[in-house]
Amino acid sequence: SDFDVYVPNLIFLGDSITDRPERSTTFQAECLVKGLMKIGVEKFSLVGFTYGGMVGFKLAQLYPHMVESMVISSAVIEMTESVSNASLKNIGFTNWSDFLLPKTVTGVKVLLSTGTHKWPWLPKFFYKDFLEVMFDNRKEKEQILEALVVSDKDATITPSNYSQRIYLLYGDDDRIFNKKISDNMKEKLGKNATIQYVKNAGHLLQIEQPSTYNYYLKKFLSNS
């Protein structure tokens, strides 16, 4: 109730689609900005989670005059090959599509259990429904994942690009982007960045610890 909240659908990750071939975070960021400008939003605090966080970093780089502050969870500045390889090794996969776009109930269970500190027991129908509902636009999502990873030498986002206050909010048991990765990112971002770890939470910390996450989120936004 204290904020005007806008929750966009990223292209092919909700009901928003395009017939254009672009799949990069730059394209996603440009679409977001055009949408916000159409409804008269010229300055805002950005809250991004996982892929949305990476789009958020790109948006803040391209449109620094619009982004006043950022809250980023379970994401990296940019998915370079070195970060991608280290993260995939952590979870025992060789590519992101096999992990993030499962084709079986077992694959959904692996996805959710890997993404959490402690995933509860749930009946099989939950996983079957999840599989049917969450993985439409599979071809386009695979293309998004392919476009996400860039070679280290082609990385365009550097920590010096950010003048905004950045609040990094991570689960203390994130097995995808572990503490080594997130602490290194915080160090690179420098004095403008603050990091907070939520106890007993994995990559999906908003699901596991919603009250704690919302507490820290609102505390930061209120001071922005």
Domains of the chain: which residue ranges? 25-90+148-222
With 80 as the cut, is the pLDDT of residue 178 above it? Answer: yes
35-70 residue pLDDT tens: 999 999 999 999 999 999 999 999 999 999 999 999
Residue 103 half-sphere exposure toward CB, CA atoms < 13 A: 5
Decide which of 210 and 161 is more confident.
210
Report whether 66 contacts 40 (CB < 8 A): no
Q: Which of 172, 184, 185 is nearest to 213 (CA)?
A: 172
Sign of CA dihedral 36, 42, 44, 50: positive
With 80 as the cut, is the pLDDT of residue 224 above it? Answer: no
Report whether 74 contacts 53 (CB < 8 A): yes
pLDDT at 157: 83
**Lateral strand order in the sheet of 193-198:** 44-49, 67-73, 165-171, 193-198
Q: What are phi and psi of 68, to 5 degrees?
A: -85, -35
Least confident of 24-28, 100-104, 134-138: 134-138
108-153 residue pLDDT tens: 999 999 999 999 999 999 999 999 988 889 999 999 999 999 999 9
pTM over 0.85: yes
Please, what's the largest Cα pairwise distance for the chain?
A: 48
Pick the CATH number of 25-90+148-222 from 3.90.550.10, 3.30.420.60, 3.40.50.1820, 3.40.640.10: 3.40.50.1820
pLDDT at 1: 83
Residue recorded with tokens 């055009």: 34
pLDDT at 28: 97
Report whether 49 contacts 31 (CB < 8 A): no
Q: In a 3-state reduction of DSSP, which class is residue 53?
A: helix
d(CA 200, CA 108): 21
Give the type of residue at 22.
E
| Mean of pLDDT values over 191-202 | 94
In this structure, the chain runs to a length of 224
